[in-house]
Chains A and B, each alone.
Chain A
Amino acid sequence: MPDARVNVPAEVARGKPFEVRILIRHPMETGYRTDESGKPIPRNVLATFTCRYNGETVLVARLGPGIAANPYLRFFVTARESGQLTFEWVDEAGVRGDERVAVTVV
């Protein structure tokens, strides 16, 4: 069940970088763990994370098995006009998740 929590400022200044924070629910299975019966749990981590602003790609991240469960990403984006930030991610099992948030430039 893909879900996430996103945080951006209520209003951002034109041309000034603002902070974007996102927490994504994902187990980030390394492939090195076993279940209670000793069977290996297959590796499944987030493969890619993409952030777009009004359709334009602003960040692409490739995550690996060294990143803890429920990854928390924090980065900066600069906006010239109000619009929509969209986030998309896909894990190695092919499960996709997405989230969107409106940004108001003042």
Chain B
Amino acid sequence: MLHALAVVVACCAGSVAAQERVLPLSALRSGITFAGADVRAMQSDDIANPGMLWVERGETLWNAPAGATGMSCSSCHGTASGSMRGVATRYPAYDSTAGAMQDLEARIDDCRTHRQQASPLPRESDDLLSLTTYVAHQSRGLPLGVSIDGPARAAFERGRAFFARRHGQMNVACTQCHDQNWGKRLLAEPISQGHGTAFPAYRLEWQALGSLQRRLRACPFAIRADMPPSGASELTDLELYLAWRAQGLPIETPGVRR
């Protein structure tokens, strides 16, 4: 009896976090594990991985003065391998000055416009992709661990609702593929669990590197739903939910995907 009671108590203590998760942490699998041997080989080899071209360009931009202040990222942040290590694992995050949730792209652009006083970089521009990839690359191998407490909570709940809601003419929800049917095939392609740990990632379909938001916009297109514009708050909310959902999976930036 005492033993049974102890089990019940243990269950209750863990229930708040555990019940919320559709995919238990122990079942999480990176998208790369669903890819073929050729894609896996391409990602794991830094010379063959085309995403490294963006990392290298990001490093150049990191040290290049920009804007009215004539300062570079490194003027304040020094060497990225030290100062930016682990930063990407915490994004999207709430920024109190901006009063909003920011993904890594938004954070970098915020720094650029307000600190460097330079012109903003458009989403999906080569410069913003390169800087984001370079910064995220400093956290390669580190586990994701975003905060969903405080002001981030509302965004998290919106992201979670978006993931569970049916969208578009095909009337399907993210959760139906990525929680309930991962591992099966959609035509020729295996369905992954939908983690964003590779991004910004080089996608063979794009023949280029792109952001997580670009990838997230591709899913509504496929199910004939309205695509939120790049930089929309719905996408940042979704990014936050996905990062929480993938908690503990290591960052792979720059990943390679089909």
Contacts and interface: CB of A to CB of B under 8 A. Distances in A.
A44 B21 CA distance: 48
A15 to B, nearest CB: 24
Name the residue in A7, A23, A28, A68 with the highest tally of chain B Cβ atoms < 10 Å from its Cβ.
A23
Nearest to A68: B207
A71 B52 CA distance: 13
A23 B207 contact: no
Contacts of B208: 27, 69
A69 B207 contact: yes
Interface string B17-59: 0000000000000000000000000000001101011001100
Given A68-B204, A69-B207, A23 B48 contact: yes
A87 to B, nearest CB: 14
Interface residues of A, number: 13
A72 B47 CA distance: 9
Interface string A17-58: 000010101011000000000000000000000000000000
A3 B53 contact: yes
A51 to B, nearest CB: 16
**Interface band, chain B:** 10 to 19
A5 B53 contact: yes
Interface centre among A28, A68, A72 (most CB of B within 10 A): A72
Interface string A64-80: 00001110100000000
A27 B47 contact: no
Contacts of B52: 5, 23
Contacts of B57: 3
A72 B50 contact: yes
A25 B53 contact: yes
Interface string B227-255: 00000000000000000000000000000
Nearest to B126: A1
A69 B207 CA distance: 6
A69 B53 CA distance: 12
Contacts of B56: 3, 5
A7 B50 contact: no
B207 A27 contact: yes
A61 B147 CA distance: 51
Nearest to B48: A72
19 contacts: A3-B56, A3-B57, A5-B52, A5-B53, A5-B56, A21-B47, A23-B48, A23-B50, A25-B53, A27-B207, A27-B208, A68-B204, A68-B207, A69-B50, A69-B208, A70-B50, A70-B207, A72-B47, A72-B48
Interface of A: 3-5, 7, 21, 23, 25, 27-28, 68-70, 72
10 closest residue pairs by CB, A with B? A69-B207, A70-B50, A7-B47, A25-B53, A21-B47, A72-B48, A5-B47, A5-B52, A23-B47, A68-B207
